[in-house]
Chains A and B, each alone.
Chain A
Amino acid sequence: MSTASAALPNREIPSFEEEASAFWRLRLRIAKTLVRQTFAQARFRAALIIVLSLVLWCGLFWLFHDGFQYLRAEIKHRETHDQLVQAIFSAFFAALLIMLVFSAGIILYGSLFRSPETAFLLALPARTEQVFLHKFQEAVLFSSWGFLLLGSPLLLAYGIVAQAPWYFYALLAPYLTAFVYIPAGLGAILCLLIVYYLPNNRGGALASFAALLLIGGGWYAWSLTRGPESNLLTPTWFMDLMGRLQLTEQRLLPNWWLSAGLIETARDEWSEGLLFLVVMIANALFCRQMAVWTAGGFFRAAYSALCGCGMKRKRARPALVDRTILNGLFFFPKPMRLLMVKDLRLFRRDPMQWSQSLIFVGLLALYFLNLRRFNYDVLYIGWVNMVSFLNLSVVGLLMSTFTTRFVYPMLSLEAQRFWLLGLSPLRRATILWSKFFFAAGGAILPCSSLILLSDAMLDISLFTMASHQLTCLLLCAGLAGISVGLGAALPNLREQSPSRIAAGFGGTLCLVVSTLYILVVVLFTALPTHFLLAAEAAYGGQYLEEHQSLHFYLKLWMTAGTLGSIALGILATALPLAIGFRAFRRMEF
């Protein structure tokens, strides 16, 4: 404590460029530390993430490559082929455009209005626009990595099949980057205006907007598949499909610019390709600038308005759903019910936790609702079975993100405040069992309902439906066991943020084990069912009756597969739980 700095007159406030450089240096320093730490302390995790991403990327690339080759082989006429590809691209990018608007809006809401970093930055003499831009770039990055993971294999596969010139690949990055900025900018403007004008009802406004969008999307998806069915890839089918995709083919939509520009580039029409790229970049910059201006005008006021929202009057009696758990689940001990109610309250009062999952559940429900409309009667019957199991896997993967993102961090957060539960007259096993039943119960309801909807729309047999429901039960119990067990065995006691806990080593391991478990369980039941149906379709029931041994072996395989999946389900539930119970009993506080 030697000297006191004399108060100096005001210094000159840095220019916009100087501020931008300071923020870039800040991001760069943080990124460097993160990369250095990841490769020094979490090599396994980093390698696992890279390998899994590569596997997913290669799988998608293979799928798209085969799909484009099939189209090229089936549709010889170049113009027709290109028109169809453009229609597919437009529909694909239109769906992603809507997803990105929501995704960027939700991420920005969290980072602009709920992050302690924002309060720190707003108290500095930095421009409001610069603070917004700092968080906006972050949101663009977070919301678009999924888009890049899906979009890049699609476009690379197309380029290879279409024998596109070299500059097609060079233009992919600027095209995708420019495209991402448009929905991100729109999402940011929506987020700022909703918080500014409706600080008290922002949740309701967002939910109404999402519901409108889902209804609109549902109606559009239904309109795409309605009407008389015609044979696949015939001229009538083609004309019919093009007519139905008209909405996504609007010339003023960015998804059309992107698809038209890429197809023109792939056809070696470089001037057309560049023209569309320039249109995209101009619009991306416009959206970004509009978002910056909106932030300049509304961000601080919206931040202040949100802080000024009155606390909602809390009801003295528990909500209906809480009362249902407290009274309805009477067969559980009371402490367990109270813990479940506590976890449910924490879950539903943090929209950042469930909003994106809810959007995915909504989109899946829309997709399932429209399954009947697809012309699968013309297809091989085994495809229906494959689609039903594919749906089961997708729903399982969605549930695994719920258990990894929410249930796995619950144990770490509980352990950080363990003095509370640790000192209460509760058995530690009760705490873990409550988490397990909460997770399994929370997963089984949406999982089972979605699969029932999918099966009903696919019009599959009651026996297969029952088998799917059993698989659902196994999946949910196993996923809950894995997340609770690993959560208790590998808690992160330093991190406060659930998302960061889920992104750590334990969370990644939980996601990987959950994914493998889903794939193995579904394969155990799907493969024998598929081959049995395939044999019936190929040879007919009569043939199988005559060749009892083949029929017997197929049935045996199916029984073994079902029993195997049950055994695996029990193992996946019991083993992680046992490990977790042991670790939790030994935990000190």
Chain B
Amino acid sequence: MKDEWSVGRKNHAQLSTLHSPLSTLHCLPPTFMIEFHNITRSYGRKLALNGLELTVKAGELFALLGPNGAGKTTAIKLLTGLLRPDSGGVTVCGHDLTHDGRNAAQAMGYVPDEPFLYDKLSGREFLQFAAEIRGLKVADAADAIERETKNFEMAEFLDSLIETYSHGMRQRLAFASALLHAPRVLVIDEPMVGLDPRSVRMVKDLLRRHAAAGMTIFMSTHTLAMAEEIADRIGILDGGRLQFLGTLSELQRELSSHHASLEALFLQLTEGEEEEQKKEEG
């Protein structure tokens, strides 16, 4: 069974040797925009991430897949600085999250699966706060708000209180606020939850366009089709370990050689890990 996934594992090994452990060259642009270096993180006795090694380059759209409890949310929380690793380090644009978290956060935009928005603010006021806290000058903030309002077609409701927004409107506002300061890295947890087909198309196009413009995008998703459609590289996480890491073409080669869909690949990979886990627990 293990040989079947040698492409992914080999690729993973190659990538691991490519990057230096935690970039220290602050004067030069970092080779990788996102680096997980040998990350271990546990919740009590449960090991959520076990020696995770992962790097994402500039302009890359990376999709992290995995079943429930695989460690995706833990990886995202580590990346946004909400959690600290038990061992290892996470860097964003060369800034270590534990010791230089503010600069890392400044370089990043984050859209959680259930975004927090202030119900008693209007969409515009919320965006103004997000702009102020990221240090945008008044004129720049106004331009950025106008730009994202146009991008996410929010002009109609931007001046209404957020408490009156539908789920889709809230999600679009969360995206706009994360992109307001034109971050170099965008982190998204389940980007399509609750969006209508039109908004889904809008977000997919937007993500591809931003990636083409040089933005690094790291998204965690359950939607296999979406990962297949827009991601440059896919990682499949299960039991706290990366079970597969590869580009789309590598993935397609893998799929064609086994005449399998991404769904079949995903199920096979995660099923194996589940069994291993059960054996360990047993």
Contact = CB atoms under 8 A, between A and B. Distances in A.
Interface string B82-117: 111010000001000000011101110010101110
Nearest to B121: A29
B43 A4 contact: no
B67 interface: no
Given A11-B136, A18-B135, A307 B83 contact: yes
Given A29-B125, A33-B121, A123 B46 contact: no
A272 B130 CA distance: 47
Interface string B182-221: 1110000000000000000010011001101111000000
Interface in A255-295: none
B217 to A, nearest CB: 10
A307 B82 contact: yes
B82 A304 contact: yes
A564 to B, nearest CB: 45
A310 B103 CA distance: 30
Contact of B82 (A37, A119, A125, A494): A119
Interface residues of A, number: 46
A209 to B, nearest CB: 24
A26 interface: yes
Nearest to B163: A494
A123 B133 contact: no
Nearest to A116: B116
B213 A2 contact: no
A8 B140 CA distance: 12
A560 B277 CA distance: 73
Contact of A1 (B115, B206, B212): B206
Interface string B216-253: 00000000000000000000000000000000000000
Chain B, interface residues (CB within 8 Å), range: 35 or more
Contacts of B112: 119-120, 123
Nearest to A15: B135
Contacts of A309: 43-44
B31 interface: no
Nearest to A5: B182
Nearest to B212: A4
B129 A11 contact: no
B167 interface: no
Contact of B45 (A119, A123, A127, A310): A310
A126 B213 contact: no
Nearest to A119: B82
Please indicate which of the listed interface residues B118, B133, B134, B153 has the most CB atoms of chain A within 10 Å of its own CB.
B133
A196 to B, nearest CB: 12
B132 interface: yes
A304 B84 contact: yes
A308 B43 contact: yes
Contacts of A34: 120
A33 B110 CA distance: 27
B259 interface: no
A300 B107 CA distance: 19
A308 B116 CA distance: 21
A18 B130 CA distance: 13
A163 B29 CA distance: 72
B150 interface: yes
B42 interface: yes
Interface in A196-252: 200
A34 B148 CA distance: 27
Interface string B10-54: 000000000000000000000000000000011111100000000
Contacts of B210: 4-5, 7
Contacts of A119: 82, 112, 116
B179 interface: yes
Contacts of A126: 102, 133
A305 to B, nearest CB: 8
A308 B102 contact: no
Contacts of A10: 93, 103, 106-107, 184
Interface in B54-69: none
B44 A308 contact: yes
Given A18-B132, A25-B129, A304 B103 contact: no
Contacts of B144: 5
B116 A4 contact: no
A12 to B, nearest CB: 5
A497 to B, nearest CB: 11
Contacts of A423: none
Interface in B122-175: 125, 128-130, 132-136, 144, 147-148, 150-153, 161, 163
Contact of B121 (A21, A30, A127, A311): A30
A2 B209 CA distance: 10
A496 B103 CA distance: 35
A7 B209 CA distance: 11
A124 B102 CA distance: 8
B116 A6 contact: no
Contact of B213 (A4, A117, A122, A301): A4
B9 interface: no
Please indicate which of the listed interface residues A1, A4, A126, A494 has the most CB atoms of chain B within 10 Å of its own CB.
A4
Contacts of B105: 123-125
Contacts of B181: 8, 11
B147 A3 contact: yes
A146 interface: no
A126 B136 CA distance: 13
Contact of B43 (A14, A116, A311): A311
Contacts of B147: 3, 5
B206 to A, nearest CB: 6
B71 interface: no
B129 A26 contact: yes
A389 to B, nearest CB: 43
A529 B163 CA distance: 53
A6 B82 contact: no
A303 interface: yes
A556 interface: no
B81 interface: yes
A19 to B, nearest CB: 7
B205 A33 contact: no
A115 to B, nearest CB: 9
Contacts of B128: 25
Contacts of B116: 116-117, 119-120
Please indicate which of the listed interface residues A14, A116, A308, A310 has the most CB atoms of chain B within 10 Å of its own CB.
A308
A416 to B, nearest CB: 15
Contacts of B103: 10, 13, 125
6 nearest A-B residue pairs (beta carbon): A310-B44, A120-B116, A22-B132, A4-B209, A125-B105, A125-B106
6 contacts: A1-B205, A5-B148, A13-B103, A29-B121, A30-B120, A126-B133
Given A124-B133, A309-B43, A310-B46, 10 more contacts: A7-B214, A22-B133, A25-B128, A25-B132, A26-B129, A29-B129, A122-B81, A122-B82, A304-B82, A309-B44
